[in-house]
Amino acid sequence: MKINKILFLLLFFPTIIFSQHTIKVTFSPEKDFTWAILYKNAPTNTKYIAQSRIVDGDLVFNLDKKATTGIYKLVYAVPQNDYNFDIIYNGEEDIELTFNLTDGAVFQKSNENIILNSYLTEMALLGKDLETKYLKENLDATTITSIFEKQKNLQKSYEEKSEGTLVQYFIKANQPYIPNEFETAANYIKNATTNYFTNIQFNDEVLQSSNFLIEKSLAYITGIETEGMSKEQSLNKNVDKVAAQTRSLDLNFQKYFMGMLWENLVSYNLITTANYLAERYLIPIANQLNDTILVLKLTQFKNLSIGNPAPNFILDDGSGKKLSELDIAENYILVFWSSGCSHCLKEIPQLYQLSQELNSTKYKIIAVGLEEDTFKWTNEIVKYPNFINVIKLKKWNNTIVSDYALTSTPTYFVLDKDKKFLEKPESFDALKAYLKK
């Protein structure tokens, strides 16, 4: 493990934000922000509260007397899971803050938020100082021990200062590993890794209702490396460690929490790890809760992941062959289209023109028509003689639609010679860009 990377991770503190009667936010640069939505968080869901236009960078939410204390989420862009921050409403304070993508939220009003931000800043500075001292060739045990003492005093001070507030839940959960005596860098990293979740109570509803547990878990999964293991093995082992923290909790919370972890891993493009989490934990939980829709979604995603074999089907071109049996090109462009789709009738001719420019032994087009009958399709495919033209009747009710998770036409895939997924272009332009690259 790289010492500087791991030391920084183990002293990582996610920024959690908190709130009340009036929430006033100034966004900058103002041209980059137009709308915001406010939700109330719960351990297994979010409840819509209000939405508002951001005018010249300014946003105001007025919470009525029925608004309960707890964790709120302010969304400022899409996708919503990526562009949001938590706000704690304590029923006692107005909140004013500025927000930009570089600095995040900076509070001008709200005692609880200011206390938390001060704590996070001061503890992070001590952590950075500790990292610097550990990276020196000649370790100074006295200096390092004194930093441990400062961390203990700082933690105690802020826990006392935040007594009786919602902020205290996060201050206690954020406490880093602090040794009672000097430890070498190797021992410190080992012990800090082992004790990473010691102060985090996964069964606490306040923590469950925030981004905190997700952020801390993602930091652990993506940041801890185990010596002697490949990156993939380390990631999977870390997923196991996180899953162990939730094993005894309510199944609905486990599903919600693991689902959020899965979505984040997908957004980080850690597809193999996301599929591991789904197969080992999330799908079994969904099955126990009879959530067939989630099981289908996760199964389809795994089956269609880059590197996996494309779902097999009969080509229906008179040869009797299946997709897996093709052996005529180095790569294949698989497109699902329909003769009754206006977008398809615009793009398929462009795809045909593109195919004329491609080396026919390097790329072969497989065009699968989703049709109600053969009439219009038969007249259309004569324009594309160098395609492998396949028809699948019953249109959206054909099983191939589920196999490939199709929601629109045209949809493109690029396969290698073994018919494994190489790329899933989102549009014809994306396909052209991929081929050009």
- H/E element, 114: helix 111-134
Cα distance between residue 376 and residue 396, in whole Å = 17
pLDDT of residue 184: 94
Order of all β-strands in the sheet with 388-393 = 388-393, 363-371, 331-337, 411-416, 421-423
pLDDT: which is higher, 282 or 9:
282
Reported as a pLDDT band with limits 50, 70 and 90, residue 6 is low
Q: How many CB atoms lie within 10 A of CB 6?
A: 20
Q: What is the mean pLDDT of residues 152-173?
A: 97
Q: What is the mean pLDDT of residues 233-260?
A: 97
- pTM across the whole model: 0.86
Q: Pick from 97, 116, 117: which is nearest to 105 by CA? A: 97
pLDDT of residue 360: 81
Q: What is the mean pLDDT of residues 191-215?
A: 97
Please provide the average confidence, as pLDDT, over all residues in the chain. Answer: 93
Reported as a pLDDT band with limits 50, 70 and 90, residue 16 is very low
DSSP state of 353: H
pLDDT of residue 316: 79
- Res 380 pLDDT > 70: yes
Three-state SS letters, 401-418: HHHCCCCCCCEEEEEECC
267-278 pLDDT, tens digit per residue, is: 999 999 999 999
95-118 pLDDT, tens digit per residue, is: 999 999 999 999 999 989 889 989
309-329 pLDDT, tens digit per residue, is: 999 999 976 778 899 999 999
CB 166 within 8 Å of CB 69: yes
Q: What is the mean pLDDT of residues 142-155?
A: 97
pLDDT of residue 17: 43
Cα distance between residue 307 and residue 311, in whole Å = 12
Q: What is the mean pLDDT of residues 130-155?
A: 95
pLDDT: which is higher, 7 or 247:
247
